[in-house]
Structure 1
Amino acid sequence: MENLEKGIEVSRLIVKYLQGCISPEEKVMLDKWLEESSENREIYHRVQGRVNREERQRIIRKLNKRAAWERVDRNTKKYRHPILRRCMKYAATIVLPLFMVGVGFYLIRDKEEIHPVAEMVKISPGVTKAELVLADGHKVVLGTETIDSLVSEEGVNIVKDGNGVSYLGNKEEGDLAYNIMRVPRGGEFKVRLQDGTLVYMNSETELKYPVRFVGKERRVYLSGEAYFEVQRDTTKPFIVVMNGNEVRVLGTEFNVRSYEDEKCQFTTLVAGKVLLTTHDHRCIELLPNEQGIVDPQGDIRKEQVDVALYTAWKDGNFVFRKQSLEHIMEIVERWYDLKVTFEDEWCKQVSFSGNVERYDDFSKLAEMLEATGSVKFRIKNNEIYVTKR
């Protein structure tokens, strides 16, 4: 247990366990540490249950300090001469911080990281914003302001509140009239459609949908990424069309991602059941915790996945599990509305696991990524350059 005498190692194991990426060998080490004392178990349960990052960090720092002082105290007892022992104690005041800084990398979101990017220009996260294109071509710029009624179209009132836009009205006769909601880079928006379906739209996303649903189906068209909470209606299937491919449901929750610059389309099912169909009529059925993938050749397959990796964005978080830095920076580009340049191709393949709040400025994420000791960032004119450390 020599390694576990360092609080940093314990911190790493605890957080890896909470993230779900701890190895069997590491789990044995953590279990052994928990069995050593009731105090260890109390610390673990307190850290596990905390949601406040400052309080969690305080507990972990206490753990590190206790472990480090015990180690120093044992070492100083080796020196019989009082002067040597006193010198070792003074040296400990320098060494202890080195034990404690390691926590910043392992804790998810913390104020005190290993490699602070002090010189980094603040890059703010995305905000609630979109452009609504009405059926007559008129454009309305939308933000966080509360407007109440925007306009009435086809017997449906379009209402803007602080959270998004809602379409209110029950009339189901007449011609189809489509609206288009465009969310730019650095933005997000919510739309409640006329049938009650709620759509969370991510950055750089466009949704085309009818002002009101008529006929035997509810069909919308998506480019980008969105999370759907579909209002159940067994008489009218809800269909999301993505570049010719379709997701067909009756009532469920799922995430779809279909960006033009990405090779594949992804449909991730949270609840219910959906049918994913390609443009050439190949299809698969998805159950909860399954993801359907359509590649550029039109081939279709499904995999078991952790849905949190693909849906956490709508709840204000980024969740990464052994994902490449190249993929992470694609997300960063859209959400922070900036350009990322890799000056070393090797950096693209660096993998990373962690949770970060989506509404933090970019420096928080950069500090966590730099704490891996593999890469570093610099900023020039709203462009981020990634290099090997």
Structure 2
Amino acid sequence: MEDQAQYLRELLAKPDWTDDERRWLLHYLEHTPATALKSLLLEAFRERDIAVPDIALQERLLAGIHARMQPVQETIVTPMRRTNRWRVAAAVGGMAILLGGGALLLRQSKWQPETVAEVATASNIGPNGDIAPGGNKAQLVLHNGKTVVLDQTADGRIGEGNVEKKDAELLYDAEEGKSGSNILITPRGGQYRVRLADGTKVWLNAASRLEYPVAFNGNERMVSLTGEAYFEVASDVQRPFFVMVDGMKVQVLGTKFNVNAYPEEKLFTTALLEGAVRITGSGKQVTLKPGQESAFSPKSGSLKQYAGDMESAVAWKNGIITFKNDELSAVMRDLGRWYDVDVAYEPGLDSHIHVTGAMRKQEHLSQALKILELTAGVHFEVEGRTVKVSR
């Protein structure tokens, strides 16, 4: 609590806030009761020998904080600037952990691309043995079979195709008549963005694979996904957009949604932020409205829809790792994908311990594990690229 109060005082004393600071406040206000926030505000005034404001002024202060955060709510995809601050907001049980620091994604995968070479990336293990977070790393497989390691390629045109690399993003021109498909692959510890030829924007999470045509020439637009991606589909009522996943199909016209379909997970989930999507799997079908999610089991074929948590569903894209009553094993798969590590459990250890919290993604692995130790009541030991979990 003292760390929170101090950080809040620092922010209140500043004339303006960075994107990171706005995001911290946004997350804090959404997960902290108003009375608790007011208590921190009052404490900040008292400790600085400032007269305690009346109720009306308190409400205006709170309204002012919300108003200054509004640009972040309107532009949730803005890349976060890296900072060195971090704060723990709460500890165990149903209370959230908030880590203010850097930005980016998580989730672990055993999947490795079988049809293309693995991305060659430099080791992220520092001289002290600590492991750095992931970053913008990927490889692009062109329709002629040539592989381009994007994090080792300068900005500019790639080959003779209609694609340009710019600021860790691929940009395709809308050239009719082009044929063939490209494949974008992120390794564990990698992520990347692509704007397809129709204007659709895709954020690809770690250990994922997206196959798509270099141009959409027919009466439908179709891509294939393994892993996780967030889509902002360009509207085109004449040409529906399809995302094909193993055993599942997502059909849209123009919308914003997230698909999590890692092969090692029990369920493939789709979260809808805007528009409408139709999910089909094993002969079943559901249509989602904004704020809803679906869960498809590739093993049993079951398909369900329910009220979802949009903030958690797209947190990875916005630079935050969230886990709300999730099993420790699921959280560790997330960490494994982002930090490119394997996880080993002590024999007999219950990996189904449930954990709740949130943290920024630019922290080194050691810091992330310290936070989890507080919540899960377990101990972590890192040996090379293996995280050992014990009591």
> Does TM, normalized by the shorter one, top 0.5?
yes
Residue 301 (structure 2) pairs with residue 293 (structure 1)? no
* From 229, 245, 248, the counterpart of 2:232: 229
Residue 210 (structure 2) pairs with residue 207 (structure 1)? yes
CA contact (8 A) 2:354 2:376 kept: no
CA drift at 1:147: 2.3
Distance 1:120 1:268, change over 3 A: farther
Q: Deviations over 1:40-85 (max 9, x none)?
A: 7879978x88999988969x9xxxxxxxxxxxxxxxxxxxxxxxxx
Equivalent in the alignment of 1:134: 142
CA contact (8 A) 1:344 1:386 kept: no
Query: What is the alpha-carbon distance in structure 1 between the residues aligned to residue 4 and residue 173 of structure 2?
Result: 55
CA drift at 1:211: 0.7
Query: What is the alpha-carbon distance in structure 1 between the residues aligned to residue 170 and residue 228 of structure 2?
Result: 18
Residue 114 (structure 2) pairs with residue 109 (structure 1)? no
CA contact (8 A) 2:175 2:197 kept: yes
Distance 1:133 1:53, change over 3 A: closer
Give matches, 1:177-192, under 5 Å: 177-192=180-195
CA contact (8 A) 2:320 2:358 kept: yes
Distance 1:286 1:36, change over 3 A: same
Residue 316 (structure 2) pairs with residue 317 (structure 1)? no
Query: What is the alpha-carbon distance in structure 1 between the residues aligned to residue 279 and residue 241 of structure 2?
Result: 12
* From 333, 337, 345, the counterpart of 1:334: 337
Give matches, 1:44-193, under 5 Å: 108-109=98-99, 121-143=129-151, 145-153=153-161, 157-171=162-176, 173=177, 176-193=179-196
CA contact (8 A) 1:199 1:227 kept: yes
Query: What one-letter code is carried by the residue in structure 1 that aligns with 2:293?
Result: Q
Distance 1:195 1:39, change over 3 A: same
- Single out whichever of 226-235 and 257-266 deviates more from structure 2: 257-266
Q: Deviations over 1:153-199 (max 9, x none)?
A: 3xxx110111211111331x36x411111111111011111001111
Query: What is the alpha-carbon distance in structure 2 between the residues aligned to residue 332 and residue 8 of structure 1?
Result: 25
Query: What is the alpha-carbon distance in structure 2 between the residues aligned to residue 210 and residue 144 of structure 1?
Result: 24
CA drift at 1:36: 9.1
CA drift at 1:18: 3.6
1:308 aligned counterpart, secondary structure: helix
Query: What one-letter code is carried by the residue in structure 1 that aligns with 2:224?
Result: Y
Query: What one-letter code is carried by the residue in structure 2 that aligns with 1:308?
Result: E
Query: What one-letter code is carried by the residue in structure 2 that aligns with 1:158?
Result: V
Equivalent in the alignment of 1:194: 197
Distance 1:321 1:135, change over 3 A: same
Q: Deviations over 1:74-104 (max 9, x none)?
A: xxxxxxxxxxxxxxxxxxxxxxxxxxx99xx
Which 5+ residue runs of structure 1 have no aligned equivalent?
1-5, 61-100, 112-118
- Looking at secondary structure, tell me which structure has more helix per residue: 1
Equivalent in the alignment of 2:13: none
Distance 1:148 1:7, change over 3 A: closer
Residue 286 (structure 2) pairs with residue 284 (structure 1)? yes
Query: What is the alpha-carbon distance in structure 2 between the residues aligned to residue 338 and residue 275 of structure 1?
Result: 35
TM-score, normalised via structure 1 length = 0.71
Q: Which has the larger radius of gyration?
A: 1
Query: What is the alpha-carbon distance in structure 2 between the residues aligned to residue 35 and residue 123 of structure 1?
Result: 37
CA contact (8 A) 1:245 1:276 kept: yes
CA contact (8 A) 1:185 1:336 kept: yes
TM-score, normalised via structure 2 length = 0.71
Equivalent in the alignment of 1:307: 310
CA contact (8 A) 1:226 1:256 kept: yes
CA drift at 1:278: 1.2
User: Larger RCO: Structure 1 or Structure 2 (Cα < 8 Å, ≥ 6 residues apart)?
Assistant: 2
Which 5+ residue runs of structure 2 have no aligned equivalent?
7-24, 47-51, 70-81, 102-126
CA contact (8 A) 2:129 2:384 kept: no
| Alignment root-mean-square deviation, CA | 3.8
Identity of aligned residues (%): 30
Equivalent in the alignment of 1:353: 356
CA contact (8 A) 2:156 2:166 kept: yes
1:313 aligned counterpart, secondary structure: coil
CA drift at 1:110: 6.2
CA drift at 1:289: 1.3
Distance 1:137 1:30, change over 3 A: closer
CA contact (8 A) 2:87 2:99 kept: no
Query: What is the alpha-carbon distance in structure 1 between the residues aligned to residue 355 and residue 294 of structure 2?
Result: 24
CA contact (8 A) 2:379 2:389 kept: yes
CA drift at 1:257: 1.1
Query: What one-letter code is carried by the residue in structure 1 that aligns with 2:135?
Result: V
CA contact (8 A) 1:196 1:230 kept: yes
CA drift at 1:345: 4.6
CA drift at 1:327: 1.0
Query: What is the alpha-carbon distance in structure 2 between the residues aligned to residue 7 and residue 147 of structure 1?
Result: 45
Q: Deviations over 1:308-330 (max 9, x none)?
A: 11211111111222222111101
Query: What one-letter code is carried by the residue in structure 1 that aligns with 2:173?
Result: L
2:316 aligned counterpart, secondary structure: helix
Equivalent in the alignment of 1:95: none
Query: What is the alpha-carbon distance in structure 1 between the residues aligned to residue 43 and residue 212 of structure 2?
Result: 60
CA drift at 1:108: 2.1
